[in-house]
Chain A
């Protein structure tokens, strides 16, 4: 069995608007601070994995090296939709587990401030002659004519489908989930938005795709996050302080969606998340009831609900009751998205899958200040990118 791997250093930048910084500036800031946090240098890294989804062809890893250290190590530029950051981290984890490197750096960065709809955000003029094209033989654009391609609309249907299956979902319920995350964000100085919003404000804001109003959608913003991964044997050679602050990666799992009826009609974000969670709990040797906090992929309020169930934080079909019990509030049984989540902390896509791990590490190290979950020992970070890819990491506080 491969040896354990640890997070040695980790950092996230402030999420929000950074008009004076480009993606390389943000990636450098995250990477240099993650290295400093771990007490190591670029020359100590044996592998680098980096993601910048909107600039996926640009080779962000090499661009970053050219600013902070061209040491000749292998670079893996990764792109996996909203799971890009988690994929970068998992790439480094695999390299370290395989013994190819004893330390590595994972970075995710995105500049999205001011971006509008990220899919279905434009429609070409219809052609002057109808000509069937593409895999559906379409003679004209189908977005808006055969369903919707917009993310708020896709994820709205995912939440409404859960309600159809199990009952109990209402517009107000979904808005209350958003109310929680906006309330949590008031304690997070790195969040893009830190304003508490009332239920009325959320429900009466601009409707994007029922039941998701604007504050119930993830916030497009700029940001970066980076993590240094170290092998167990290498960690043992480092200082007591480094070992004390190291966070164990008890599970690192990436899944895609297995074929099921309807999955090519409306993305099925449930099965691959459940599969990832099942494998992660098994690898970590813990159950959902052991989690002190969870950062899950609340790209829309309607998505957070289904992931309570997919991550097995509640009984199957019990997500509505789980939320209504108060469990996912920061003083509840299983605090969810105490960072403010994607709806309020923000969602700079490729950064998200490392930033959520930073949040969990921050609590496990006891360094989360005003929003510290007292005595946190184990946490879970989850992301999902449509297509689909799901990353689940379980993190454990160092015993030392």
Chain B
């Protein structure tokens, strides 16, 4: 099997792919980016925490017009993963308002987005309907 890298460093691959957040040890605020300090309390200590892999779709849009090279339509949304908000595409669903509803239960899924010259596969993530 080809080597894999995650699309972003807060996606952990392996047998049970999941997202990790930087959690402020002072106030509990969670972030997905590299931190200088906490935007909520200005604390500077963080710990890595696993984010729930299932959640509820809180909002979405169906993007029909995007930059060249981005396949449309696609569903972009925000998923409430047990109190931690996650930005992601909603995948494995028909991209229309009859099939995508706020409040729907979704779960994390991963998929290859392409390989580089060395044959290393980049793996992205999205959320799919949890039947």
Interface size class of B (residues with CB under 8 A): 35 or more
The yes or no answer to A262 lying at the interface (CB within 8 A) is: yes
* B38-69 to A contact mask, C-beta < 8 Å, 1/0: 01100000000000000000111111111111
Decide yes or no: A135 and B33 within 8 Å by CB, A121-B67, A143-B66, A144-B70 being known contacts.
Answer: yes
- Residue in B63, B85, B117 whose Cβ sees the most chain A Cβ within 10 Å: B63
The residue that B116 contacts in the complex, of A128, A135, A264, with Cβ under 8 A, is A128
| Residue B8 lies at the interface, judged by CB distance under 8 Å to chain A | yes
Is A139 positioned at the interface, with any CB of B under 8 Å from its CB? yes
Q: Residues of B contacting A126 with CB < 8 Å?
A: 114, 116
Q: Is the CB of A259 within 8 A of B61?
A: no
Q: Across the interface, do A207 and B65 meet the contact criterion of CB distance under 8 Å?
A: yes
Residues of A within 8 A of B77 (CB): 147, 157
Contact A135 B34 (CB under 8 A): yes
Question: Which residues of B have CB within 8 Å of A285?
Answer: none
Q: What A residues does B63 contact at CB under 8 A? A: 144, 148, 150, 152-153, 209-210
CB of A208 within 8 A of CB of B64, answer: yes
Q: How far is the CA of A140 from the CA of B74 in the complex (A)?
A: 18
From known contacts A130-B116, A160-B102, A163-B102, infer whether A137 and B66 are also in contact, taking CB-CB under 8 Å. no
Contact digits for A120-140, partner B, Cβ 8 Å, 1 yes 0 no: 111101111110100111111
* Bound CA span A146–B88, Å: 5
Is the pair B65, A117 in contact by a Cβ cutoff of 8 Å? Answer: yes
* B7 near A140: Cβ-Cβ < 8 Å: yes
Closest 8 CB pairs of A and B: A137-B9, A144-B70, A156-B61, A262-B85, A161-B59, A164-B102, A210-B62, A135-B33
Chain B interface (Cβ within 8 Å of chain A)?
5-10, 29-34, 39-40, 58-71, 74, 76-78, 83-89, 97, 102-103, 113-114, 116-118, 120, 122, 124-125
CB<8 Å pairs between A and B, sample of 19: A117-B65, A120-B67, A129-B118, A132-B9, A136-B10, A136-B32, A136-B33, A142-B8, A143-B66, A145-B7, A147-B77, A147-B78, A148-B61, A148-B63, A148-B74, A156-B61, A160-B59, A160-B60, A264-B31
With A136-B33, A156-B61, A259-B29 already in contact, 8 other A-B pairs whose C-beta atoms are closer than 8 Å: A137-B34, A139-B7, A147-B76, A150-B65, A160-B61, A206-B64, A209-B62, A209-B64
